[in-house]
Each structure stands twice: as C-alpha cells, then as structure tokens.
C-alpha cells in the first residue's frame, strides 16, 4: 500500500518538486550541502529543516541570504515561491548541475563556436528565466591560470577567413553597439533575447568559417567575442549566473584566439564584477588583477582604469581599506591620462561619472557614508541619461549612504525614486540593490518603516521577493 505521504497532495511547491525527483529528504539535504560547497556558499541543510520547509511549517523570515541563493539554484525558484502553494511545473524539475567549465575542452576554434552555439540555443529557449546551471568558483581560478600562463592562443581550426569581409565585421560591431545601448537603458531582461538572436542569425553562421590567422578573420572573432560578452552580461543582469559564467568564459576564449588581450581583460573584469556580486571577493580580486596584468601594454588607460576599479570594489568587499584606496587612486590616475578617442567601443561607458560610482560603492562597503554620498551625487550629476540601470545602482547607493548616516527620510525618498525607475527595467541586479537597501532599514528598530517601504515596492515591483519585516 502507498504511504500517506505518497497519496496526500503536496502542501508546497518545494514538497511537490522533491516528490517529482523521487529522492529521500536525506538525499536532498546532502545534495543541498554539496551544491552549497560547489557554489562557495556557507549554507547547511538538515533533513528535519528541509522537511519542515516542505511542509510549510517554516517561513522565509529566518532564512539566510546564502540559503536563499542555494535553494534558488537547486530548485529553480525563489524561496518564497518554493514555500508557497504548489503550481503546475510542466515537466519535473531537474536537479541543478554545477558542471566544471572545462577549458581544456575548448582547445580549437570549432570547440568555442560549438559551445557558443549551444549556449545561444539555451538563451533563445529560455530568454528570461535563469538556466538550471550553477556557478563554479573553481572555474574562475582556472581562467586566471590559463590567461596568465598562455598569453598566446593555441586554438586551432576554422577556415582561411576568405568568407568574411570587413562589412561583416562592422555588422557585428554595429549590432553590439546598439544592443549595449538597449542593455544600459532597459536592463538585461529586455535586451537578452535580441542579443541571442543576433548571435544566432548574424554572428555564428560565419564564425566557424573564419580563422584568426588573417586580419579580417581575427577582427571578426574579436567582434563575436564582444557580442558574446554582452550576452553573458545580460545573463548576469537577470540573475542567470551559471549561464553568464559560461558565456563569459567562451567569450574570453574567443578573445584569446583573436589575440585581443585588452578585450580579454574587459571580459575578466566582468567576471570579477560577477564574482564580487556573488560573495566571492577574493576571487574577484584575482580576476581583476589578471585582467590588468594580462593586458599590460595593450590596454588603453581608460581600460586600465576599469581594471583598477574592479579590483578596488572587490578589495572594499574584503574590508581592505588601504589597498582599496590605492586601487581607486590608480584608477583615477589612469582615467585622467586617457583619450576617449583612442578607446575601443566596449569601454566607452567607463567615464568620470562611472568612476565616481565605483568610489561610491567602495566607500559604502567600507562604512564611510559621507564619502559614499559625495561620490554618488557627483556620479548622478555627471552621468549620461542613457545609463538608466547604472543610475539606479548609484541612486540606491546614495539612499544607502543616507540610511547609514541616520537620514531616514532622505534615504526613503531617494529609494522610492529608484523603485519608480526600476519598474521600467528588467534587471535582477537592480532588484537585489533595492532588497539590500531594504535590509538595512532593520537598524532603525521599527518594522513600520520597513513595512511602509514594502507596500510601495510591492505596488510598483511585484517581482521583488520580500521577506516579512522584522518585529
């Protein structure tokens, strides 16, 4: 006879997904802790705790951010959704696979284009939902080692490059320029599908038939690498971190093939940004330093400034104020010595306003709200209106700085403005910034303040998952 648990309808979505996997709670708890280690997260899960979550006996209030992140990666849903009523999921959810990014398998040009073709297909199949892929922190270390120890590409394959023209190169560059503008203004959720379609219809059909041994072929591979980097960035922006890591890795491999060390450094800087966002600041420092050292002598001063800024942000997360300040100073010196007319298109966004934003982020994380507010305000005043998402980040940092100084009314006023703007964006990172600001309201000791802000957020941003306000 079937057990009662087998015939009783599932009480939560989590319980439904566990039943669909046909595994015991003990097996699922072990899988959670294994995934937690692979993601570099400090999260644990006992059998009893998992059973209580699945039964709906525990809410999200006491769940740590690390537990929330691992649960989302493992089951493909936020913790709030998992603890809610079961919904039809179509097909059984598969366990998250955290496959290592085997760089040794990308030894030829055909390997890289095959990998990018598969990732593009996945992107077009599920453009807005995070792919069922985890992040491998060890892969970032492997990337650094290969980038530093193999300055010359050993990739082989591809044809002679005669099938590609300068006009083909310009098509990809122009598309990347346009789509980057969409990404800045509307977020990764609105631009990602367009980037994938451009890869599938314009970039990849010719990519296999070119070789870095010719100037035009090398330029074409570089252009495809820049477009693939943008695809990875849009995936990062919507919270599809495993997909982002893989796209950025393939983009780096293509830049490596083409011998474009500066673009490769730009991609590594993006990896550093993601690693820091995911709570891996030490790896982020390594990636930023590899970007700078690996592109030494080939990157423009503006690009070098970006590398220093990414290192500074990671050092701030580590709490290393002296090293962070030195990196910020180096970034400022490099930026002031550059000439934007000589910069590649993919670094045009990094200007004085962006550098002030990096200063603001660093001082926020170092607990210096006065300096954070000063630089955030200067960034906002000088920023191009195109950069809607970046302005949302900076305004949230400004709101946080006011909250850190006890200026609650001003902090809430600025944060509500971010909510208004974020409603037009599709950016999981903007939502994460707002959730971080919301968490900082706890220090004011009143659940009323947080509840009022929650009501405003829920009105305009129903996509933002909110844990109950603390009593």
What are the tokens at 131? 């792919």
Quote the pTM value.
Answer: 0.78
Neighbour-count burial of 463, counting CB atoms closer than 10 A to its CB (0-12 exposed, 13-18 middle, 19+ buried): middle
Tell me which H or E stretch contains 410: helix 408-422
- Where residue 128 falls among pLDDT bands split at 50, 70, 90? low
Residue where a domain stops, chosen among 259, 285, 313: 259
What are the tokens at 111? 């390997």
Q: What is the mean pLDDT of residues 269-284?
A: 95
Which pLDDT value is given to residue 99? 45
pLDDT digits 0-9 by tens, 341-353 = 999 999 999 999 9
pLDDT digits 0-9 by tens, 171-189 = 999 999 999 999 999 999 8
Q: In 3D, which of 51, 45, 47 has the Cα closest to residue 71?
A: 45
| Model confidence at 18: pLDDT above 50 | yes
Residue 344 belongs to some domain of the structure:
no
Which pLDDT value is given to residue 400? 96
Task: Select the more confidently predicted residue: 182 or 2.
Answer: 182
Q: Coil, helix or strand for 338?
A: coil
- Where residue 87 falls among pLDDT bands split at 50, 70, 90? low
Residue where a domain stops, chosen among 213, 230, 259: 259
Domain span at residue 17 reads: 4-82
Q: Coil, helix or strand for 108?
A: strand
Q: In 3D, which of 363, 432, 428, 422 has the Cα closest to residue 398?
A: 363
Residue 284 belongs to some domain of the structure:
no
- The CATH number assigned to the domain holding 471 equals 1.25.40.10
Name the phi and psi angles at 382, rounded to 5: -110, 0
Contact by Cβ (8 Å): 264, 252: yes
Contact by Cβ (8 Å): 25, 50: yes
User: Which range has highest mean pLDDT (28-42, 71-85, 390-404)?
Assistant: 390-404
Helices (H) and strands (E) in the chain, counts: 23, 0
How far are the Cα atoms of 19, 223, 225 from residue 346, in angstroms, in the given order?
A: 47, 10, 11
Which pLDDT value is given to residue 103? 58
What are the tokens at 410? 């001003």
Residue 402 belongs to some domain of the structure:
yes
Task: Select the more confidently predicted residue: 324 or 157.
Answer: 324
Q: What is the mean pLDDT of residues 287-292?
A: 97
What are the tokens at 386? 């195109």
Are both 250 and 124 inside the same structural domain? yes
Are both 152 and 197 inside the same structural domain? yes
| Model confidence at 229: pLDDT above 90 | yes
Residue 306 belongs to some domain of the structure:
no
Q: Across the chain, what does the average pLDDT equal? A: 86
Contact by Cβ (8 Å): 195, 179: yes
Tell me which H or E stretch contains 303: helix 301-318
What are the tokens at 96? 């998250």
Are both 78 and 147 inside the same structural domain? no
Are both 74 and 120 inside the same structural domain? no
| Model confidence at 86: pLDDT above 90 | no
pLDDT digits 0-9 by tens, 387-416 = 999 999 999 999 999 999 999 999 999 999
Are both 240 and 117 inside the same structural domain? yes
| Model confidence at 90: pLDDT above 50 | no
Lowest-confidence segment of 19-28, 287-296, 434-443 by average pLDDT: 19-28
Residue 368 belongs to some domain of the structure:
yes
How many structural domains is the chain composed of?
3
Which pLDDT value is given to residue 95? 32
Which residues lie closer than 8 Å to 362 by C-beta, 6 or more apart? Answer: 312, 313, 315, 316, 324, 328
CA–CA distance, 377 with 399 (Å, rounded to integer): 10
Are both 50 and 160 inside the same structural domain? no
- Where residue 326 falls among pLDDT bands split at 50, 70, 90? very high
Are both 141 and 211 inside the same structural domain? yes
Are both 182 and 234 inside the same structural domain? yes
Residue where a domain stops, chosen among 240, 259, 278: 259
Q: What is the mean pLDDT of residues 311-325?
A: 97
Q: Where are the alpha helices (DSSP H) in 101-258?
A: 109-125, 137-149, 166-186, 188-198, 204-207, 215-237, 241-258
Which pLDDT value is given to residue 101? 55
pLDDT digits 0-9 by tens, 198-209 = 999 999 999 988
CA–CA distance, 130 with 428 (Å, rounded to integer): 10
Residue 314 belongs to some domain of the structure:
no
Which pLDDT value is given to residue 471? 32
Are both 112 and 214 inside the same structural domain? yes
Lowest-confidence segment of 211-220, 230-239, 244-253 by average pLDDT: 211-220
Residue 381 belongs to some domain of the structure:
yes
Are both 61 and 118 inside the same structural domain? no
| Model confidence at 222: pLDDT above 80 | yes
β-bridge partners, 156: 108
Over pLDDT 70: what percentage of the chain?
85
How far are the Cα atoms of 33, 54, 146, 188 from residue 103, in angstroms, in the given order?
A: 26, 38, 8, 26
Q: What is the mean pLDDT of residues 406-429?
A: 92
Q: What is the mean pLDDT of residues 272-279?
A: 94
Are both 245 and 112 inside the same structural domain? yes
Residue 189 belongs to some domain of the structure:
yes
Are both 75 and 112 inside the same structural domain? no
Contact by Cβ (8 Å): 136, 100: yes
Task: Select the more confidently predicted residue: 375 or 8.
Answer: 375
Q: What is the mean pLDDT of residues 257-264?
A: 95
């Amino acid at each position: 006879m079937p057990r009662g648990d087998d015939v009783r309808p599932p009480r939560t979505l989590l319980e439904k997904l566990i039943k669909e996997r046909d595994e015991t709670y003990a097996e699922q708890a072990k899988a959670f802790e294994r995934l937690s280690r692979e993601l570099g997260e400090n999260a644990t899960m006992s059998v009893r705790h998992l059973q209580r979550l699945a039964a709906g006996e525990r809410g999200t209030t006491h769940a740590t951010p690390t537990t929330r992140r691992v649960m989302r990666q493992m089951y493909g849903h936020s913790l709030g959704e998992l603890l809610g009523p079961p919904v039809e999921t179509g097909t059984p959810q598969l366990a998250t696979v955290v496959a290592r990014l085997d760089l040794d398998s990308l030894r030829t040009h055909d390997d890289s284009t095959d990998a990018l073709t598969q990732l593009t297909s996945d992107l077009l199949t599920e453009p807005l939902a995070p792919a069922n892929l985890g992040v491998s922190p060890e892969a970032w270390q492997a990337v650094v080692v290969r980038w530093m120890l193999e300055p010359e590409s050993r990739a082989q394959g591809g044809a002679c490059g005669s099938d590609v023209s300068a006009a083909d190169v310009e098509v990809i560059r122009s598309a990347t320029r346009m789509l980057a503008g969409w990404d800045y203004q509307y977020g990764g959720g609105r631009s990602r599908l367009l980037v994938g379609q451009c890869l599938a219809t314009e970039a990849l059909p010719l990519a296999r038939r070119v070789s870095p041994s010719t100037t035009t072929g090398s330029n074409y591979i570089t252009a495809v690498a820049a477009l693939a980097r943008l695809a990875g960035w849009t995936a990062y922006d919507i919270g599809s971190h495993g997909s982002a890591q893989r796209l950025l890795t393939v983009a780096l491999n293509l830049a490596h093939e083409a011998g474009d060390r500066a673009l490769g450094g730009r991609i590594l800087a993006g990896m550093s940004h993601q690693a820091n966002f995911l709570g891996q600041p030490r790896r982020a420092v390594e990636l930023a330093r590899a970007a700078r050292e690996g592109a030494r002598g080939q990157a423009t001063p503006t690009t070098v400034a970006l590398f220093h800024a990414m290192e500074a942000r990671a050092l701030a997360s580590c709490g290393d104020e002296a090293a962070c300040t030195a990196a910020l100073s180096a970034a400022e010196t490099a930026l002031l010595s550059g000439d934007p007319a000589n910069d590649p298109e993919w670094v045009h966004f990094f200007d004085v306003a962006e550098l002030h934003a990096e200063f603001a982020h660093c001082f926020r994380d170092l607990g210096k709200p006065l300096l954070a507010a000063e630089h955030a305000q200067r960034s906002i005043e000088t920023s191009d209106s195109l950069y809607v998402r970046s302005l949302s980040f900076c305004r949230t940092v400004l709101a946080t700085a006011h909250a850190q100084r006890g200026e609650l009314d001003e902090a809430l006023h600025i944060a509500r403005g971010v909510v208004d703007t974020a409603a037009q964006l599709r950016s999981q990172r903007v939502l994460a910034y707002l959730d971080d600001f919301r968490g900082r309201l706890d220090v004011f000791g009143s659940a009323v303040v947080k509840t009022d802000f929650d009501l405003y957020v829920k009105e305009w941003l129903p996509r933002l998952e909110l844990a109950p306000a603390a009593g």
